[in-house]
Amino acid sequence: MTQEELDALMAGDLEDMDDAAPAESALEEVAEVAEEEQEQEQIDSEALETAQDKAATQMMNEYRPSSTMSWPPPPPTDDHKMVHQLDDVTKDSEIKATQVFDKLEIVSSFMMSAEENSKEVIKLIESNITLFETLVTKFPKIDQFQKALDDNKGMKDRVEDLLMNAQMAGDEIMMTMDIMQYQDIHRQKIERVINVMRALSKYMSALFEGSKDDSKRVSSAVHIHGDSTTEDVVSSEDIEALIASLGKK
């Protein structure tokens, strides 16, 4: 279709149906070409995404931590996302700390119960000691009363030791609870680090933000002339031939 025919079509001079048919055919051809180009762009975009996904998967599979080999940064999975990991640390540590506090409170209640029971046993033993001292005074020749008196005095000493140990255990539990308070301070420090990292991430995202959406950008060339990493480079002759073929269309 010539330029004159296109001008005539735009001006409305082609009134005859036979003359209009080539114009319609030309328009359909243009539409088909545009549709093919759009499909080709979609195919190229999907191929690029597939290649990127394969490359990311390969990097994740080949990544191995090593102290002697210099690896690139690890893949951005949940296992390597820094803020994600720190959030898990603060969450898990808070849960475990709460569980530890609950267990310490239970042990402390057991110690307090042991203290109360020990005090009650000591009172009973002291009553027995008073009784056997009276019996020994009235019946000094009966050795059984003296033996019972000595046994109760020894039992009182042992129970007092148990009471003292229970009180010391209770004190240790209280000191352990005080030490556990530092866990909350550590959690607050980690949260402060997280907030700083998130602020830096938002700042960097804003700093590198573009004026248009990424979906509207032209895709970058995979191979550029002069690259030393591959021999699959499009030459200048190939580019000129491609432009010439597009011009003929």
pLDDT digits (tens, 9 = 90+) for 90-111: 888 889 888 999 999 999 999 9
Helix (H) or strand (E) holding 159, with range, is: helix 143-207
Beta carbons within 8 Å of 219's beta carbon, 6+ residues apart: 44, 45, 48
Query: How much is the pLDDT for 175?
Result: 92
* This model's pTM is above 0.75: no
* 111-137 confidence digits (pLDDT tens): 999 999 999 999 999 999 999 999 999
CB 97 within 8 A of CB 183: yes
One-letter identity of residue 104: L
Helix (H) or strand (E) holding 109, with range, is: helix 82-138
Query: How much is the pLDDT for 169?
Result: 92
Query: How much is the pLDDT for 84?
Result: 84
CB 135 within 8 A of CB 142: yes
> To which residue do tokens 């148990």 refer?
162
CA neighbor of 48 nearest in space, from 202, 214, 173, 208: 214
Burial (CB count within 10 angstroms: exposed 0-12, middle 13-18, buried 19+), residue 101? middle
Taking residue 111's Cβ as centre, other Cβ atoms within 10 Å add up to 19
Q: How confident is the model at residue 85 (pLDDT cuts 50, 70, 90)?
A: confident
CATH architecture group of domain 82-207: Orthogonal Bundle (1.10)
Burial (CB count within 10 angstroms: exposed 0-12, middle 13-18, buried 19+), residue 247? exposed
Q: Where in the chain is CATH 1.10.287? A: 82-207
* Chain centroid, CA 17 distance in Å: 69
